[in-house]
Structure 1
Amino acid sequence: MAVAPQDAIKQLSALMDEVDEPRKRTFQNMHQGYPTATLGRFLKAREWSVAKAHKMLIDCLNWRIQNHIDDILTKPIIPAELYRGVRDSQLIGLSGYSNEGLPVFAIGVGLSSFDKASVNYYVQSHIQINEYRDTVILPAATKKYGRHIGTCVKVLDMTGLKLSALSHIKLLTIISTVDDLNYPEKTETYYVVNAPYVFSACWKVVKPLLQERTRRKVQVLQGCGRNELLKIMDYSSLPHFCRRENYGSSRISSAGADVCYSLDHPFHQQLYNYIKQEALTQECVSLLKQGSFHVDVPGADTEGTNIVKALESELHKIGGHDGLTHPLNGLRINDA
């Protein structure tokens, strides 16, 4: 028998009152003054099962403590040239805000090459953006709009997507697992734009296998999606690859502050300067040396097994046209 949402939140809150001080501290860092909303996210991710949500949340708190996640914003990726390489090959940025005040993150799925640094640096950077979003961006939006804003919108640019890009599957699986287990329900809607045939073929197979809750979050838009996205955000908040049809590459060709992926963009400048300042504030000067911040990632659960099998079958059918040479073991669909 399902538990009513408010009752489930009360039960989970009572369980959280019993955790030890280290877990209470990291939970406070997570919820940023909104514990009820955070409990609701974990419950929603586990279909409102209190027992499952409790286990998920405790596992998350343990992961944060064991990997010093509360300190990850004091660990800059240095030197700056290395960080620029990460930014040029892991295409993500904050393009603006929706009409409701939700941060709009642009992600260059098709053209992210992940070839300028080791896996650890990319994972570190991804978690740092998550933490900066949750501790700086979302609280600032909450203050500006006068109501709690705890989620974001993501626009996924599929320009340049090829089956050969699945050679990055190990890294993408790690990032997906981190988000799924530790940052659930942080994305309100995923807007997919510039989708080529490869994506369309995969989506037809994956869509029926997704939970209804996840399926409702994904909207595949026509072309660059400009007209649809302008219904929920101003033109100034549109990612650069949505501002006109046939925009071309979403990769940083001439860099510049107009491309939200670029290290020169205000978002990344503010993020990187924030991390460097936090490092100095926390007296981590002696630790400011080159070297990635290693994070352990729990093994992925079996939730996506059927999806992987279906995708493998479909991709083998079309793989000959795109030179697919890498196995897809471990591919997961993230519903966070």
Structure 2
Amino acid sequence: MATQNPSIKLDPKYDHYDFPTTAPHKQSGHPGHTTPEQDAQVFQLRTKLEQAGYTERLDTLTLLRFLRARKFDVALSEKMFVDCEKWRKEFNLDDLTRNFDYKEKAQIKYILLPSPLSQSDEPKDGRPVYIEQLGNIDLAAMYKITTSERMLQNLAVEYEKLADPRLPACSRKSGQLLETCCTIMDLKGVGLGKVSSVYSYVKQASAMSQNYYPERLGRLYLINAPWGFSTVFSVVKGWLDPITVEKIHVLGGGYQKELLGQVPAENLPKIFGGTCNCAGGCALSDEGPWTDPKWAKPAKWQEAAKETVIDNQNTNPGTIPDAGDKAPAQKPVAVETGDEINAAPALQ
């Protein structure tokens, strides 16, 4: 049963939440803290999208994220949503989320850690924690075991899993709506020789995040920032939303106190000053409320996959055109394409 939101009129057609729907902090435009005008803008945006033929992802929480990302300008929010849906279709994202198998992940972790290093069970505000070690980037070595296309696919799938089932499970456990994650980017080892590749990566990361996953960043810590990084960051800030910039904290080597103020020591890897030491390594750990039966529930994309399964056991062969007796059963094949990095997850 959906948790009732005291300030937002939930739409019975689209809003089928089984987790809290009120944001923990009183911020304008956030669930539970909207004005009548903002509620009307949600209705306007949904109506426009329905008229354009869209039927998925029209729930109130999703539309509010797109509206906040565009300062509640309905026309701009509509364009952002439509562009996102076009990208999802071109990227074949729904199918990827259900079927993608990133077999090379265990090898890549020693070179690049774009996936969750420690999806924290219980940060002090309840959000998942996502960690990247940018100093480990070695593009030449990385391309020996994977392709940029598969990296992008993996990153998009991780975003989808953040949205569902990870954040809903965290919301159930904390008793309040959680829509964002805490990101830690470790810049240790980012020397002059790596500046260009890291700069390119961060810029591409922001593109995917800001364009297609708005309002998913809660806090971003840039730790072990090298001398002169503030100059580079001043350029980075130029293509980030001012609201996003306010969430970013640039720290040098003395970052432990601030990080431990956000993440409990038992959930922060030892290499960052915590006490977490996952079996097999934190880089491959997926511990969190989303793996705890008390809080975890199947993601909507998992349920959708079950609903579309077709049982052909009793199909009359005569009703299948051109299905010769010797035609072998075909299995879907994953296709790998592309050689250039165009985007990655992270900053918004």
Pair in the same fold by TM > 0.5: yes
Matched, 1:14 2:44: yes
Residue identity matched to 1:106: I
2: CA distance between counterparts of 1:12 and 1:130?
23
Kept in 2, the 8 Å contact 1:190–1:219? The answer is yes
Residue identity matched to 1:104: V
151, 155, 164: which is aligned to 2:193? 164
Matched, 1:236 2:258: no
Report the structure, 1 or 2, having the larger helix content.
1
1: CA distance between counterparts of 2:94 and 2:126?
26
Counterpart mapping for 1:105-120 below 5 A:
105-114=130-139, 115=142, 116-120=145-149
> In the TM superposition, what is the alpha-carbon distance from 1:225 to its structure 2 partner?
1.5
2: CA distance between counterparts of 1:243 and 1:287?
47
> In the TM superposition, what is the alpha-carbon distance from 1:213 to its structure 2 partner?
1.5
2: CA distance between counterparts of 1:9 and 1:112?
44
1:129 corresponding residue in structure 2: 158
Secondary structure at 2:261's aligned position in 1?
A: coil
Kept in 2, the 8 Å contact 1:162–1:198? The answer is no
Q: Which runs of 5+ in 2 are unaligned?
A: 1-27, 292-297, 311-328
1:72 corresponding residue in structure 2: 96
Shift of the 83–95 alpha-carbon distance from structure 1 to 2, 3 Å rule, reads closer
* Greater Cα radius of gyration, structure 1 or 2: 2
Matched, 1:58 2:87: no
Residue identity matched to 2:105: Y
2: CA distance between counterparts of 1:335 and 1:168?
14
Kept in 2, the 8 Å contact 1:119–1:171? The answer is no
Matched, 1:202 2:232: yes
Q: Which runs of 5+ in 1 are unaligned?
A: 29-34, 245-254, 301-331
Residue identity matched to 2:231: A
Deviations 1:220-279 (A, max 9, x none): 2241521112222210122443117xxxxxxxxxx9736432x3x2459x7xxx99x969
Matched, 1:154 2:187: no
Deviations 1:274-331 (A, max 9, x none): 99x969967699656564388x99x99xxxxxxxxxxxxxxxxxxxxxxxxxxxxxxx
Matched, 1:227 2:248: no
2: CA distance between counterparts of 1:169 and 1:200?
13
Alignment coverage as a number of residue pairs: 278
Residue identity matched to 1:90: L
Residue identity matched to 2:61: A
Shift of the 280–231 alpha-carbon distance from structure 1 to 2, 3 Å rule, reads same
Query: Over aligned residues, Cα RMSD in angstroms?
Result: 4.1
Shift of the 280–88 alpha-carbon distance from structure 1 to 2, 3 Å rule, reads farther
Shift of the 212–74 alpha-carbon distance from structure 1 to 2, 3 Å rule, reads closer
1:216 corresponding residue in structure 2: 246
Kept in 2, the 8 Å contact 1:89–1:113? The answer is yes
2: CA distance between counterparts of 1:178 and 1:210?
12
Matched, 1:143 2:145: no
Shift of the 139–21 alpha-carbon distance from structure 1 to 2, 3 Å rule, reads farther
Counterpart mapping for 1:172-187 below 5 A:
172-187=202-217
1: CA distance between counterparts of 2:208 and 2:233?
23
Secondary structure at 1:17's aligned position in 2?
A: helix
Q: TM-score, normalised by structure 1?
A: 0.68
Residue identity matched to 1:179: S
1:292 corresponding residue in structure 2: 336
Identical aligned residues as a percent? 24
1: CA distance between counterparts of 2:305 and 2:147?
25
Q: TM-score, normalised by structure 2?
A: 0.66
1: CA distance between counterparts of 2:164 and 2:345?
26
